Amino acid sequence: MCSNDNTGTAQPTVFIENQRTRVTEWRFARRGDNTGWHRHDYDYVVVPLFDGHLEIDLGNGERVIAPVKNGVPYYRDLGVEHDVFNGNDFECAFIEVEFLK
């Protein structure tokens, strides 16, 4: 993730960072924790570590619910802008893999 406003309450832990790839775990301790508003400067894959859903603020007054399944990845192109929230009544996390080249 790049271009972050640093106002989120979710906790990032970078596991791998080299010239080609960055792998970050995003951990949300409770409902409402969020990443903070950000723009993705790279293509990326997210691997949820839970069954449930994320709430995504798209910045235009629209907030969508995104169901996710444990271990089932999804891909997004660079340029995505959003703030991601834990919409569950339990702690949750996902792994984000960014393709830097």
Q: Where are the domains of the chain?
A: 2-99
Which pLDDT score, from 0 to 100, does residue 52 have?
Answer: 98
Which pLDDT score, from 0 to 100, does residue 7 have?
Answer: 85
CB 42, CB 100: distance < 8 Å? yes
Which pLDDT score, from 0 to 100, does residue 4 have?
Answer: 60
Rounded to 5, what percent of the chain is helix, strand, coil?
A: 0, 55, 45
Q: Enumerate residue ranges in the chain where pLDDT < 70.
A: 1-6
pTM of the full predicted structure? 0.92
Which pLDDT score, from 0 to 100, does residue 101 have?
Answer: 85
The reply to whether CATH 2.60.120.10 applies to domain 2-99 is yes
- Model pLDDT for residues 54-76, shown as the tens digit of each residue: 999 999 889 999 999 999 999 99
